[in-house]
Structure 1
Amino acid sequence: MTYCVGMRLERGLVFMSDTRTNAGVDNISTFRKMFTFENQGERCITILTAGNLATTQSVISILEERTKAPADRKPSIMEAPTMFQVAQLVGQTLREVIAANSEEGQRADAAFNATLIVGGQIAGSPPRLFLIYPEGNFIEAGEDTPYFQIGETKYGRPILVRAYEPDMSFEAAVKLLLVSFDSTIKANLSVGLPLDLQLYEEGSCARGLSRRIDADDPYFQAISSGWGTALKSAFDSLPDVEL
């Protein structure tokens, strides 16, 4: 399983993903699920992946190959003039990979499914954030839906719903996402550290802070223990039921 979040703020974009993949409790591996395509000053595009690992790795590999020497002459996401067209290209690639690897029938298709978050900015246009479905179609983040989650979403979603604000700082957004990820990790063993974090400042057309957060990271440990203590304190402060 996976947990990834792409968040739109007034200041820019924030991305976070876990790195755990597993095919059973005795077969757990670490794989990167965050990928960035960048031409500094011109565009910066980040992709988060969830779903069948072979499918997502194939999609990223094809996108990377097309940015270098596209033998099939298909367009590259580094050439698309808008983020909307980037989302179209990524969606088409995802649909093609799923179709190429699955047999006929809904059951076979589902085994190769994947979902992606694509966000970034191309010079001359604002930052945009998209959620791309296995069928290749997609939706865009807006004021009503300012962030997207993929993978194991249910445990971390209540945190985001209650605390997200579009004008929050990068520092507050990172803290919010770490609480969301900590809640998910504690509830589901298929999501795990290390976590990948990346910030994107609007107008920069270059990746901002990019780091990996390990289990022994002091700040993550402080957030995890502090959130547990705060929850217990809040629970104790609530009135008891009269029986």
Structure 2
Amino acid sequence: MTYCLGILLEDGLLLASDSRSNAGFDQIAEVNKLSLMPFAPDRLIALQSAGNLATTQAVITMLREAFGGGDPALDLKACRTMYEVTQIVGEQLRVAIAHDGAFVTPYANPGASFLVSGQIAGQPPRLFEIYSAGNFVEATDRAPFLQIGETKYGKPILDRALTRSSSLAEAAKLAMLSFDATIRSNLSVGLPLDVLLYRADSFSGANLVTVRSNDPYWVALREGYSAGLQGLIDGLPSPPKAWQPISRG
């Protein structure tokens, strides 16, 4: 399992993915789940992946090798919109599952999902979620974030505090807390985290950082959040008397 988060903001995109991959209790490895397509001056395209690792790596490798090659069915560099990019990724996911699914199914689920995001010059940043069937949905002003993988633990804080107008810094803080909640509650999600703060119209992936367990900001955020929660709980009113158990004489 993994956890990938994409946030669409007025200022750009915040993308975060964990790196844990496990094929059994004693087969745990670190694998990049956030991949940037090769550099191009007029676009930035990012893929975040969850599900069968062989399936997702096959799709990403195929698209990397085809980038700039001119094949209209595969070349993300030739796409005019992020919608076209997402169509190609979805189709290649179908191809990979159809090619290997019958052989993989007796041993594992060949399914996978992707978050596809980025920007092409002349258009705003966009964010999509692709399901195993290859179909997809897009983030909107009312639903500015999308998640794949182990999503339930990290969703409440995003629902409470994130808006489309949140700054990249605010979104990064909330994303880290979302991952903290997930990592605390699910052993299949773990550090390091890959985090990209993409500012609209920069077409740069330079702000891609890797967060490890000893990262000062990560440590300070987790400790401060835990202490703050405990203080908030301590300050909340106790249940009314009618809720309290009746003592036996």
TM range (shorter): over 0.9
What is the SS of the residue equivalent to 1:95?
Answer: helix
Match of 1:198 in 2: 196
- Is the contact between residue 103 and residue 109 of structure 1 (CA under 8 Å) also seen in structure 2? no
What is the SS of the residue equivalent to 2:129?
Answer: strand
- Is the contact between residue 16 and residue 195 of structure 1 (CA under 8 Å) also seen in structure 2? yes
CA positional deviation for 1:158 = 0.4
Q: Distance in 1 between matches of 2:86 and 2:80?
A: 11
CA positional deviation for 1:206 = 2.2
1:115-134 correspondence runs (5 A): 115-134=113-132
Further displaced range: 121-130 or 205-214: 205-214
- Is the contact between residue 3 and residue 149 of structure 1 (CA under 8 Å) also seen in structure 2? yes
Report the count of equivalent residues. Answer: 241
Match of 2:9 in 1: 9
CA positional deviation for 1:128 = 0.7
- Is the contact between residue 69 and residue 75 of structure 2 (CA under 8 Å) also seen in structure 1? no
Match of 2:63 in 1: 63
CA positional deviation for 1:40 = 4.2
For structure 2, the residue ranges without an aligned partner over 5 or more in a row are 245-249
- Is the contact between residue 18 and residue 194 of structure 1 (CA under 8 Å) also seen in structure 2? yes
CA positional deviation for 1:39 = 3.8
Match of 2:247 in 1: none
Match of 1:164 in 2: 162
What is the SS of the residue equivalent to 1:111?
Answer: coil
Find out whether 1:96 has 2:70 as its counterpart: no
Q: Distance in 1 between matches of 2:24 and 2:79?
A: 40
User: Residue type of the partner of 1:101?
Assistant: D
Match of 2:226 in 1: 228
- Is the contact between residue 193 and residue 214 of structure 1 (CA under 8 Å) also seen in structure 2? yes
CA RMSD of aligned residues (A): 1.9
Further displaced range: 108-117 or 132-141: 108-117
Scaled by the length of structure 1, the TM-score of the pair is 0.94
Question: Compared with structure 1, are the counterparts of its residues 108 and 86 closer, same or farther at alpha carbon in structure 2 (3 Å cutoff)?
Answer: farther
Structure 2 counterpart of 1:142, from 140, 161, 173:
140
1:78-117 correspondence runs (5 A): 78-103=77-102, 111-117=109-115
CA positional deviation for 1:41 = 3.1
Identity of aligned residues (%): 45
Match of 1:45 in 2: 45
Match of 1:29 in 2: 29
CA positional deviation for 1:75 = 3.3
Summarize deviations over 1:20-68 as a string: whole Å, max 9, x none: 0112222110000011125443000111000000001001001011115
